[in-house]
Amino acid sequence: MVSAPVMAGIGLALPPSTTQEELWERFFAGRYAGTTRALAERIFANSGVRRRQAAVSPLLEDVAEWPTERRMRRYLVEALPLGKEAVDRALTASGLTAGDVGLFAVCSCTGYVTPGLDILLARDMGMAPDTQRLFVGHMGCYAALPGLGAVTDFVVARRRPALLLCAELTSLHLQPSAVRVDTQQIVAHALFSDAAAAVVVVPGAGPGYAVREVTALTDTSTADHMTWDVTDLGFRMGLSPRVPQVLALHVRDLVGQLLGRHGLRLVDVDGWAVHPGGPRILTVVERELGLDPEALAESRSTLAEHGNCSSPTVLLILDRLRRAPRPPRWIVMLAFGPGLTLYAALLSRTSD
């Protein structure tokens, strides 16, 4: 029987951070007036975010009127060193070198360039010419999990190490002030943040977390609830307030079936890495799964300290869980995005 692939190293890279209060007072407050300003102030205050990172801080550069071409050029400038830092840390943690990587997968929905991060980082970091590459784009906040599924499948099939990088620069997609109230854009401006996270997955036994299964469910009847449109002024977020209601319909069955296939129940899971799309998302997951208030503490703390970083976020939460004084034995990772799509992964801690 082939053993489950193991996540042997995680590496994070975070741009400079700023408090939510400073972002509001020094930049966003000046974008709104009257009742819209009062609404925006409440949204920022109730976002669950205390600090956020930005590779391109609005306190230093206002990109709201930049054309998409300029934003994409800046994406490459900022994403390359950030991705390199995350990859280098993950490889160091795993005890491997870039030359050991058989597959290099990159997830990003905030920038497109060709040659892309997969090619340029493979070149700059010394990966072998025969390293296979995969780019996962426009999957949004849940992309880390299909990315993880792809690299673990490669590891099982080829018995070679694989590397996953999730890199997002949401700060490049600040939108111009709207004449009319645009609550969806206010919410996006209050939540999103920048980060990069990398994971090395290896075959066989070893210290780390074994990936037991990655699974998904998509409700295409709600496809218009979450969108990410390419415009002449960057990428524009569409985020319906009905998203938590859709998650409430599906999350319990998705998790219950995943655990059931491995002879587990909800009470057996002692670690939860739930993508914090916003405070309401976490509240719904907590309620529908009947979790104790402490179960999503790391997810809420990640939202507070880093904001919603899109695809890297769930890996930031996983990193916090594995560094705990008593790391969980079983972890369920959950992330959500366009589709509407729910992704879940089951991890088990291996013996040290």
Burial of 266 (0-12, 13-18, 19+ CB in 10 A): middle
Of 327, 352, 203, the residue nearest 271 (C-alpha): 327
Confidence label for 179 from pLDDT (cuts 50, 70 and 90)? low
Confidence label for 226 from pLDDT (cuts 50, 70 and 90)? confident
pLDDT for the residue numbered 80: 97
Does the structure show a pLDDT above 50 at 200? yes
**Cα 15 to Cα 169, 229, 292, distances in angstroms:** 10, 25, 33
Confidence label for 352 from pLDDT (cuts 50, 70 and 90)? low
* Cα dihedral: 37, 38, 44, 45 (round 10): 150
For 46-87, write each residue's pLDDT tens digit: 999 999 999 999 999 999 999 999 999 999 999 999 999 999
Does the domain formed by 6-202 have CATH 3.40.47.10? yes
**DSSP run (H or E) holding 82:** helix 68-94
**DSSP run (H or E) holding 346:** strand 341-349
Contact 131, 104 (CB under 8 A): yes
Does the structure show a pLDDT above 50 at 1? no
Distance CA 327, CA 331 (A): 10
pLDDT for the residue numbered 205: 73
* Helix 279-289 × helix 243-260 angle, to 10°: 40
Does the structure show a pLDDT above 80 at 134? yes
pLDDT for the residue numbered 19: 98
Task: Pick the more confident residue, 34 or 9.
Answer: 9
pLDDT for the residue numbered 206: 82
Contact 151, 166 (CB under 8 A): no
Three-state DSSP state, 118: helix
Mean residue pLDDT of the chain comes to: 94
Of 169, 214, 176, 161, the residue nearest 13 (C-alpha): 169
Does the structure show a pLDDT above 70 at 194? yes
Distance CA 12, CA 165 (A): 10
Of 183, 152, 188, the residue nearest 171 (C-alpha): 188
Of 144, 345, 149, 148, the residue nearest 254 (C-alpha): 345
Q: Name every residue whose Cβ is closer than 8 Å to that of residue 231 and which is 6 or more positions away in sequence.
A: 68
Does the structure show a pLDDT above 70 at 130? yes
**DSSP run (H or E) holding 316:** helix 313-322
Confidence label for 181 from pLDDT (cuts 50, 70 and 90)? low
pLDDT for the residue numbered 2: 60
In CATH terms, the superfamily for domain 209-349 is Thiolase/Chalcone synthase (3.40.47.10)
Confidence label for 204 from pLDDT (cuts 50, 70 and 90)? confident
Q: Do domains 6-202 and 209-349 have the same CATH topology?
A: yes
Q: What positions carry a catalytic annotation?
A: 141
Distance CA 144, CA 246 (A): 21
Token pair listed for 351? 């013996």
pLDDT for the residue numbered 191: 96
Q: Name every residue whose Cβ is closer than 8 Å to that of residue 112 and which is 6 or more positions away in sequence.
A: 72, 75, 137
List the chain domain ranges.
Answer: 6-202, 209-349
Token pair listed for 98? 């870039």
Confidence label for 40 from pLDDT (cuts 50, 70 and 90)? very high
Does the structure show a pLDDT above 60 at 167? yes
Of 86, 77, 84, the residue nearest 111 (C-alpha): 77
pLDDT for the residue numbered 293: 84
